[in-house]
Structures are given as structure tokens and as C-alpha cells.
Amino acid sequence: MEYCTLKNGIKLIYEHRPSDVTSFCIGFNAGAVDEGNTFHFGTAHALEHMISKGTLHKTENEINTAFDDIFGFENAMTNFPYTIYYGSCLRENLNAALELYSDILLNPLFPGKGFKEEMDIICEELKEWQGDLYQNCEDTLFRNSFKNRRIKEIIIGSEKSIRSITLDEIKKFYKAFYRPDNCVISFSSSLDFELICNLVEKYFSDWKQNSTVFKRDSEIFYEKNIPGTYRNKLAGIEGTKIQYIFDISSLKEEEFKAFLLFNEAFGEGTSSFLFNEIRTKNAAAYEIGSHVKNEPGIKLFSINMGTSKEKVERSIYTINELIHKIKNDKSYFNNENILKMSKRIKIKRKLKLERSIQLCKELTTYELMYGNFKKLYDEIDGLEDISGELIYLLINKILNNPSIQIIGE
């Protein structure tokens, strides 16, 4: 792997892979967590939509045609801590791909024509977002669990906030956060690293910092969740969705590694505690699992499941009993099982990163979120050396005072 910082501040990450396909991801430390005071909720996502509506050199139709001609796959995504643009193309098309993206990112017009229509499109996207029942359950849970944290409002905003966003606001967000010193680009390619550096310099070297700079607070505010069980009805759905969240914002690096081991045993895979108790023994759910969300601005441990309304109370009782049991039974996390969990985590991570586009996304977002792309590898290094005692200390520290959301008809 190679890493360098260009003269204007762009961070460049590269991994050589022998393939005819080159993938890359361009990311900005600019996401939904940067909204709420100066900007309406949803501004970061609205900018992602508007960035390719036309440039000084290309119309929107010409941009769309170029995307189809150059890329086998391309997409963009706004998260709470970042926004990324990514794609895969043939290695011989990388020059054209970087030329296209540099034009989009450095020379956007943000035309007034079509702005309202794009906001209409985002409102349609909002309906699809809300139609995802697991997403709906999580969004409702965040709304009920927090009073001040940004995650109490969904990434793309409510219809009211989306309709309140102005084109000038989008331009202001762009000027504040779309800067070379706030940008990371990762590549997976068989092309020579020096050649890629030269291409990035060719198309991005004239990109200078804007005079308007908004700096994100180094310490994101982590309000504690409001514990309790929340019940909300949603007409027309089959079954019931349940989600728990626990705060993990206090975890230090070594503790996070230990918690990954716990999560692997507790809610990952068909041999996990959750799967065994909820599905295998009680036939209460088709899908159930747990997840560690360590992104800045989120930092939560969650349990998710779908069940029938008749089995809701039994399922919650079973999960609570399981948590109580694992807190008090110190027999499981011995050296043998820790080694087993560490191997499971490592193979899943390696399989995930086999896809070149996924590798680029992870390298870029880790550099943006933690200031160190190597954390992608370091956080699963030495898992087998974690002590069972540390895992049990963390279980008893973290698995308290959950917020529980139940969404049903």
C-alpha cells in the first residue's frame, strides 16, 4: 500500500491489485453531523444530488452519458460523518474518470433550473427510506432516544427540512466543506502508483481552499440515550420490528476490539447466542442479529429483529434474560473461544475487502473518520490476545439502560 498528501492537501491512498478494473472512492469530511445550526437537516445529502447537475464544461445530460460510457459501476452516499463518490472502470478509462469527477467536484454550476425538481426527487427518496421497515424502526428509535444529537433526525432530513433547503445554502455547504484539505481519494488498481499520483495532480492540483471554512468540532457531542421501551404503530405492515440500542461512545481502542469479539459471539451468524435463543429454540424470528456502529456521531451497539406481534413480549423477555445470563456467566470467553471469534471476524473482514470498490470505500471513510486508514486493519489485529476478563468488564459496562423500539401495526 502507498499513501501520500498532495501539495493542496488531498490525501491519496493506493493499493496495488492485478486487475483490468480500477476502483476509486473520493470522500469528504462533510456529512449530516455538520448540519443543524447553520444548515437545515438534509443539506449534505442535497449537495450530493446537486453536484452533478451541470458544470462549467458539461450539461447534466453530458455528465450522465459520460458516467455510462466510463463506469461499470458508480454511486454516491451521504452518511452522518462523511459523503463519498465512488466507482469502478477499466484501467484504461481512469484518465477519463478522474477528468469527469474533477470537473463535477471543482466546477459545479448548481443551476437554479431543476433545483425544485431535485428536491422533489429527494422527497420521493424519503418515502422509500421510510418504507424500509428496519430503517423506519431505527429512525423512530433515534427520535425517541435523543433530544439533541444529530442522529435524532434522519440523514436526508424530513420533508419539511428538505423543502426549507435553499440553493444558496447548498452552495455555502459546498464552499465550507468541499475543499482539498478535507478530501481523501483511495484507489485499487494495477496501474502504477506514480502514474495515478500524476493523474490526480493533473486534474486536481488547481483546486484551492475556499476562503469560507467551517471546522467540525474535534469532539462530537454524545448525548446519552433516554432508556425505555417505545411503541409506535405503523399501519399496513406485517409483523413487528424491534431494535435495542446501547451507548458505546466511551469505548477506547482496545475496548472496542474486545467488544467486537463479544458482538461476534452474541449476534453474528447462525451459531450466535441471539440466533440460538430467539430463532433456533423459540422460533420467534426469521432475522435477528447485533451490530456495532462505531462511526463518529453514531457509536451505538444495536440488536435488531423482526417477529410477529404475538411474540413481541416473549422475544424481549428472552433477549433481556440472555443479556443477564451473559453478564454473569464467565465461562464462555476463554482462550479457545476468543481465538475462534477472532478468526471469524478476520475472515469476514478479508472477504468484505476482496471487492475492490468496497476496499476503496473503507480506506477513504476510515481515513476521514479516524484520520488513519490503517485502523481498517489494525482494529482486527491482535484480537486473539484480548482477555476474557476485559470482555466481561465491557459487557457489564455497556449492556445497561437500553432504548428499545417496537414498531408494529
CB 261 within 8 A of CB 391: yes
**pLDDT band, residue 286 (cuts 50/70/90):** confident
- Does residue 95 carry a pLDDT above 80? yes
H helix intervals, 244-304: 253-267, 273-274
**pLDDT band, residue 132 (cuts 50/70/90):** confident
b/e code 106-133 from CB counts within 10 Å (16+ = b): bebebeeeebeebbeebbeebeeeeeeb
Taking residues 239-253, report their average pLDDT.
Answer: 95
Give the pLDDT confidence score for residue 119 in this predicted structure. Answer: 95
Number of C-beta neighbours around residue 320 at 10 A? 14
Burial class, 33, CB count within 10 angstroms (exposed 0-12 / middle 13-18 / buried 19+) = buried
Give the pLDDT confidence score for residue 141 in this predicted structure. Answer: 97
Give the pLDDT confidence score for residue 209 in this predicted structure. Answer: 74
Give the pLDDT confidence score for residue 291 in this predicted structure. Answer: 96
Rg (the chain; Cα; Å): 23
- Does residue 131 carry a pLDDT above 90? no
Ramachandran assignment for 55, one of left (phi > 0), alpha (psi -120 to 50 degrees), beta (any other): beta
Q: Rounded to 5 degrees, what are φ and ψ at 93?
A: -100, 5
Give the pLDDT confidence score for residue 211 in this predicted structure. Answer: 60
C-alpha grid cell, residue 204: 486536481
The fraction of the chain above a pLDDT of 90, given in percent, is 89
Q: Rounded to 5 degrees, what are φ and ψ at 145?
A: -95, -15
Burial class, 215, CB count within 10 angstroms (exposed 0-12 / middle 13-18 / buried 19+) = exposed
DSSP annotation of 152 reads: G
Q: pLDDT, tens digit, for every residue of 315-370?
A: 999 999 999 999 998 899 999 999 999 999 999 999 999 999 999 999 999 999 99
Task: Judge if pTM exceeds 0.85.
Answer: yes
List of domains in the chain: 2-204 (3.30.830.10), 228-408 (3.30.830.10)
CB 58 within 8 A of CB 103: yes
Give the pLDDT confidence score for residue 23 in this predicted structure. Answer: 98
C-alpha grid cell, residue 272: 450466535
Q: Tell me the C-alpha distance between 270 and 82, whole Å.
A: 32
Ramachandran assignment for 15, one of left (phi > 0), alpha (psi -120 to 50 degrees), beta (any other): beta
**Do the bridges between strand 11-16 and strand 288-293 make them parallel or antiparallel, or are there none, so unpaired?**
unpaired
- Residue among 65, 170, 69, 63 nearest 116 (CA): 170
DSSP annotation of 108 reads: B
Grid cell 469532539 is found at 219
Give the pLDDT confidence score for residue 236 in this predicted structure. Answer: 75
Q: Tell me the C-alpha distance between 399 and 62, whole Å.
A: 53
**pLDDT band, residue 213 (cuts 50/70/90):** low
92, 153, 243, 319 from 408: Cα distances, Å: 52, 21, 12, 18
* Orientation angle between helical segments 94-106 and 193-204, nearest 10 degrees: 30
57, 244, 328 from 130: Cα distances, Å: 37, 19, 39
- Average pLDDT for the chain: 94
C-alpha grid cell, residue 61: 445530460
Our separate counts of H helices and E strands in the chain read 15, 11
Grid cell 463519498 is found at 84
The better pLDDT of the pair 209, 160 is held by 160
